Amino acid sequence: MDSIAQILELAESYSRELPQPPPPPALPEGEKIAGIIDLTLIKADATSTEIKQLCEEAVRYNFFSVVVNPAYIPLAAGLLANSQILVGSVAGFPLGASMPTQKSFEALSNITAGASEIDMVLNIGAVKSKAYGLVFNDIATVAQTTHIQKAALKVIIETPFLSRDEKILACLISMYAGADFVKTASGFAGGGATVEDIDLMYRVVGAKIGVKAAVGIRDYSTAAAMVKAGATRLGTSAGINIIKEITNG
């Protein structure tokens, strides 16, 4: 996509009629769902003891990754060094109102410290202000940094703040600016993932990039519904409960 004007034109057509995407990937069987879960602990008062427990649980149940605040990246990376579990962290979190250069520097610092995936919040105010060039540049700047470092970028579009048309635009801009995933929410905006939003996001991006459902996923039935709607990754702090529900353990 060569220009913002073309993205806006595509978004307008999608607002009238969404494309029919390919069937979403199959729901992993049983506890294998752990392989698409980012086990998350990003609360302000998280302790090193809790991070150690998080990493131990991630290894025990074979979660895809742990997502921690930047200050805990070195600890998590060290604890997981002999495993296949990735470390993820955040940039521009939770408001998304940092400058692109600041988000890019934060992403680079996180990757240097041991993170393999970055979840950034897009500039929500810029979306609401229709400053779409700024939104594109914000994401593209961070995407370039993460990809040079061979890391993945997930863009949190913060669905609780956006209208349907704004969600469509945010997904399209994220995709064409270089994001590897679009993600529902940070957890700091008073709402989280819904099946309706995941369906919308998947219809917009199809199989071109991933869709991460995050916030409010506390049991297996919710997790399964998100995957069936098109989520290719789940972010939750309740991953252990979901696996224990499956295994009755």
Query: Torsion over CA of 97, 100, 106 and 108, rounded to 10 degrees?
Result: 160
Task: Return the exposure string of 168-206: e unless at least 16 CB atoms fall within 10 Å of the residue's CB, then b.
Answer: bbbbbbbbbbbbbbbbbbbbebeebbbeebbbbbbbbbe
Mean pLDDT computed over 96-107: 98
pLDDT at 249 over 80: no
Handedness of CA 234, 141, 144, 6 (dihedral sign): positive
Which ranges of the chain would DSSP assign to H, the alpha helix?
Answer: 4-16, 48-61, 73-79, 100-113, 124-128, 132-148, 164-177, 195-205, 220-229, 239-247
Mean per-residue pLDDT over the chain, rounded: 97
Mean pLDDT of 113-123: 98
Per-residue pLDDT band for 1 (boundaries 50, 70, 90) equals: low
Average pLDDT over residues 81-95: 97
- Joined together, the tokens standing for residue 82 give 């002999």
pLDDT of 248 reads 81
Q: H or E element: which one contains 187? A: none
Give the mean model confidence (pLDDT) for residues 193-216: 98
The whole-model pTM stands at: 0.97
Indicate the Cα dihedral angle 10, 15, 17, 22, nearest 10°. 70
| Residues belonging to the active site | 119, 183, 212
Residue range 136-165: mean pLDDT, rounded: 98
Q: What is the DSSP letter of 128?
A: H
Please name each of the domains of the chain with its CATH number.
Answer: 4-16+30-240 (3.20.20.70)
Average pLDDT, stretch 223-230?
98
